[in-house]
Amino acid sequence: MKRGLFVIVVLFLLLAGCAAKDEQTSGAMEEMTESHGHGDVKITKHFDESLTMLTDKNLFSLEMVIPAKQLSMGVNTVEIIVHHASGGDVPQAELTVTPWMPSMGHGVMQKPVVTERGGGLYSVDNVVLSMTGHWQLQVKVAKDDKEDTAVFNFPEVKAMGHEHAMMHAPPPKDLDYATMKMTANNAYNVMYKSIGGQIRINRIHSWELTINDAAGQPVNDAMVTVVGDMPEHGHGLPTQPEITKVGAGGLYRVDGMKFTMPGWWVVTVSIMVDGVHDSVSFNLNIL
């Protein structure tokens, strides 16, 4: 989380320079910014490892930065910098990002959350990729009476950093199988239980999540995402779990859980409340 915040700060400071109009600032930006294209249309690039693209009608220049360096199965965050194709920041735009899996013909149930940071910079959280394979991030930018789209392709999204060389490797001996844990940055306490008792292979079932904050108070208005991963085999759940708030008390129902193989599974619960994002992973031994 700290790393993501650092990336946002760096991006924001850099883009603040883009908005300055005086010659001294413009000269400094020329050293940091690479622009290429033809005529009055150009792609503006600030970072060596970023992905850049003109929108389909050449109205906007998009630059995508992935803080984790690459997308993986699970919950991701990206930063998108929007410029006019002729130059200049695009603040206060309506930006939508849609994950799409072309080979499967489907997207995702959970919508990414877009937050404007200023200077043409937009953070996109809760980018949920539910399985490995070829994914697209379809971006639409609307500003005033102009609207345009672009598609970023990611041909080989893999499972949460697990390499194929790990296939058939046994799980670590010191795995924690606790059903209640604090999230990685201690923002939330999360407990799960399977509704209906023991989890069985190849049966769709539901979970109940209880989420409290660090002070022990119920968290009732969270955006929750659940993603399953089988590290030994490099694949996840065949379903896309759907989360529903259940009254008060920090209770949430997760429908559509299905484990297709026996063995070690990792289920990651991501939580966002008022811009505060944190996550926790539970280990399961499915028999």
With a CB cutoff of 8 Å and minimum separation 6, the contacts of 56 are 148, 149, 150
Task: Please report, to the nearest 10 degrees, the dihedral formed by the alpha carbons of residues 226, 232, 234, 238 taken in order.
Answer: -50
pLDDT in tens, 237-255: 888 788 999 988 999 999 9
Q: What is the pLDDT of residue 83?
A: 93
With a CB cutoff of 8 Å and minimum separation 6, the contacts of 161 are 72
d(CA 42, CA 37): 4
d(CA 201, CA 199): 7
Mean pLDDT of 184-207: 92
Phi, psi of 32 (to 5 degrees): -100, -15
pLDDT in tens, 81-133: 999 988 888 999 999 999 999 988 888 877 888 998 888 999 998 888 877 88
d(CA 246, CA 195): 14
* Tally of CB atoms within 10 A around 124: 20
Q: Place 170 in a pLDDT band, splitting at 50, 70 and 90.
A: low
- Helix pair angle (2-19, 23-32), 10° resolution: 130
d(CA 228, CA 269): 9
Q: What is the pLDDT of residue 186?
A: 92
With a CB cutoff of 8 Å and minimum separation 6, the contacts of 171 are 231, 232, 263, 264, 283, 285
d(CA 227, CA 75): 8
d(CA 212, CA 231): 28
Q: Are 208 and 246 in contact (CB under 8 A)?
A: yes
Q: Are 132 and 152 in contact (CB under 8 A)?
A: no
**pLDDT greater than 70 at residue 25:** no
> Which one has a higher pLDDT value, 28 or 38?
38
Element (H, E) at 189: strand 188-195
d(CA 189, CA 12): 31
**pLDDT greater than 80 at residue 149:** yes
Q: Place 33 in a pLDDT band, splitting at 50, 70 and 90.
A: very low
Q: Tell me the average pLDDT of the chain.
A: 81
Q: Place 167 in a pLDDT band, splitting at 50, 70 and 90.
A: very low
pTM for the predicted model, two decimal places: 0.56
Q: What are the structural domains of the chain?
A: 2-157 (2.60.40.1930), 164-286 (2.60.40.1930)
Q: What is the pLDDT of residue 138?
A: 97
With a CB cutoff of 8 Å and minimum separation 6, the contacts of 274 are none
**Which of 157, 103, 117, 113 shows the shortest CA–CA distance to 273?**
113
* Tally of CB atoms within 10 A around 271: 23
The sign of the torsion formed by the CA atoms of 97, 99, 102, 107 equals: negative
pLDDT in tens, 37-94: 445 677 888 888 899 999 999 999 999 999 888 898 878 889 999 999 888 889 999 9
Q: Place 32 in a pLDDT band, splitting at 50, 70 and 90.
A: very low
Q: What is the pLDDT of residue 234?
A: 66
